[in-house]
Amino acid sequence: MTDFPEGFRWGVATSSYQIEGAVDADGRGPSIWDAFGAVPGAVAGGDTGAVACDHYHRMPEDVALLGELGVDAYRFSVAWPRVLPTGEGRVEQRGLDFYRRLCEELLGRGIEPFLTLYHWDLPQALEERGGWRVRDTALRFVDYALVVQEALGDLVSKWTTFNEPYVSSIVGYGEGRHAPGAREGHGSLAAAHHLLVAHGLAVREMRSRRPDHQFGIVLNQSPSVPVTSSPADVAAARRHDLLLRRQFTDPLFATRYPEDYAETFAGVTDASFRLEGDLGVISQPLDYVGINYYYRQHVADAPHRDPDPATRTSIDIGIDTSRLPDVPRTAMGWPVEPEGLTETLVGLKERYPDLPPVYVTENGCVYPDRPGFDDHERVEFVSRHLAAARDAMEAGVDLRGYFVWSFLDNFEWAHGYKPRFGLVHVDYETLVRTPRASFHWYRDLVAGQRTRSGRVAR
């Protein structure tokens, strides 16, 4: 492995609903994922996050494992319904205390907390008032963010507002594959916008209280590649790129709405959720942007499924993303294309010259387990993506760190527990944690890189 620069951050990532379990502990309120998990057929195997990895009760053991891994950064999320059980009003101190203890344990082992405020577990009470379709939820988010900053601001200085607003809005309110399971056009596009407004308002308020803190957002990004060079497929790939990326990145990093938005969503939305001044709020200067990269998107032109724009969902934009290239795939069925990470990072920098520094905040894979947890495919996957990240740095991208998804096997949303992304295997019967071969490999890699930077630093 080529060397990374001194100070490059090495981490692993998780999220609250995917690992914590303990959904009724210490006054936690229900989230949209608790409600969604109760809908028959919504999650594979009827799995729910009720127990998950029971991280809420096993946190010190898990942080000890992070210490063994030797990472210097841990990306996790705070569950809004643990802090404000109904999304607003009464603060649940026991929920905050858990995250305080987590941060103290991390710092005690020299691991910096990279805290995400929202990784998809909206308090159900707010969903019942419209969820992200309504602007009021953005205001409630700001209040929540300030409660957490006030409680943990002496321990945490890296604050990510949202993980993948695309998934919260378009997969949750458009495709319906995620909570809250809605299939809407206008509603899901309103959700996308309100998430961005919530981000901008929260950054503005949090920064005014703690100018010394660092603020960012995490976006899932990947190139949208047309399956042929025909004008129809090229246009389809551009529509897909708008849906997945530019409806978020243009407002965030260029203070504009994409010029092809109205045409792509004609009849689906009139964008009446946009208010005067929103772009100025959304485009707050950021200290970093996190990129989650898994695979490239391959897009072909296709007919709309619903001929009537008025009843169409936002994902029904005349595209087919099922035509995958003839390359090896992971057990998720995702094509392995590390060069897509280089293209993503370099492409972002080209489109947005003022892009803030970047972290790869998620990257990882699933393969079937074999006896002894010798997951050499994962080792190869991560090392090839690290090489691709290095290529992007050579090309001028200011990349500051890399986080493997994930530290532990966990609740993989609508897929339930079957896909295992962890460097650490979790036995869901006994909850015993067993490091895989990739854990030991990553530990050695990180140790080598950190010793090297240590030596350079002295």
Binding residues for substrate: 18, 119, 163, 294, 405, 412-413
- Asked if 409 interacts with ligand PNW (CB under 6 A), we say no
Burial class (CB in 10 A: 0-12, 13-18, 19+), 280: exposed
Query: What SS3 string covers 23-69?
Result: CCHHHCCCEHHHHHHCCCCCCHHHCCCCCCCCHHHHHHHHHHHHHHH
Give the residue carrying structure tokens 């987590």.
102
- Residue (53 or 171) nearer to ligand PNW, CB: 171
- Residue (330 or 449) nearer to ligand PNW, CB: 330
Scan residues 206-265 and list those touching ligand PNW (CB under 6 A).
220
Scan residues 354-373 and list those touching ligand PNW (CB under 6 A).
362
- Asked if 289 interacts with ligand PNW (CB under 6 A), we say no
Residue of 48, 124, 163, 269 that binds ligand PNW (CB under 6 A): 163
- Residue (337 or 362) nearer to ligand PNW, CB: 362
CB of 178 to ligand PNW, least distance (A): 7
Strand partners, 433: 426
Smallest CA-to-CA distance from 48 within 29, 76, 20, 10 is with 20
- Which DSSP letter does residue 198 get? H
CB of 171 to ligand PNW, least distance (A): 5
- Residue (173 or 257) nearer to ligand PNW, CB: 173
- Residue 415, classed as helix, strand or coil, is helix
Whether 343 is catalytic is no
Contacting range for ligand PNW; rule: CB under 6 A; set: 199-207, 233-241, 405-413, 435-443: 405-413
- Residue (281 or 419) nearer to ligand PNW, CB: 419
- Asked if 405 interacts with ligand PNW (CB under 6 A), we say yes
Burial class (CB in 10 A: 0-12, 13-18, 19+), 153: middle
Query: For residue 222, which amino acid is it?
Result: S
CB of 179 to ligand PNW, least distance (A): 12
Chain centroid to Cα 148, Å, comes to 19
CB of 217 to ligand PNW, least distance (A): 13
CB of 433 to ligand PNW, least distance (A): 18
Sorted by sequence, the CB contacts under 8 Å of residue 440 that are 6+ apart come out as: none
Please say whether the beta carbons of 417 and 45 come within 8 A: yes
CB of 218 to ligand PNW, least distance (A): 8
Scan residues 411-440 and list those touching ligand PNW (CB under 6 A).
412-413, 421
Contacting range for ligand PNW; rule: CB under 6 A; set: 19-27, 62-70, 163-171, 254-262: 163-171
- Residue (422 or 450) nearer to ligand PNW, CB: 422
Chain centroid to Cα 434, Å, comes to 25
Q: Judged by CB under 6 A, how many residues of this single chain contact ligand PNW?
A: 14
Scan residues 166-195 and list those touching ligand PNW (CB under 6 A).
167, 171, 177
Would you put residue 373 in left (φ > 0), alpha (ψ -120 to 50) or beta? Answer: left
Smallest CA-to-CA distance from 398 within 458, 456, 352 is with 352
Please say whether the beta carbons of 334 and 367 come within 8 A: no
- Residue (248 or 421) nearer to ligand PNW, CB: 421
Residue of 10, 11, 15, 237 that binds ligand PNW (CB under 6 A): 15
CB of 123 to ligand PNW, least distance (A): 18
The one catalytic residue in 112, 164, 175, 337 is 164
Residue of 31, 224, 249, 292 that binds ligand PNW (CB under 6 A): 292
Strands, DSSP E only, in 143-277? Answer: 158-163, 214-220, 224-226
Whether 362 is catalytic is yes
Strand partners, 434: 425
**Rounded distance, CA 12 to CA 405, Å?**
6
Kindly list the residues in this chain that would bind ligand PNW in the complex (CB under 6 A): 15, 18, 163-164, 167, 171, 177, 220, 292, 362, 405, 412-413, 421
Q: Catalytic positions, please?
A: 164, 362
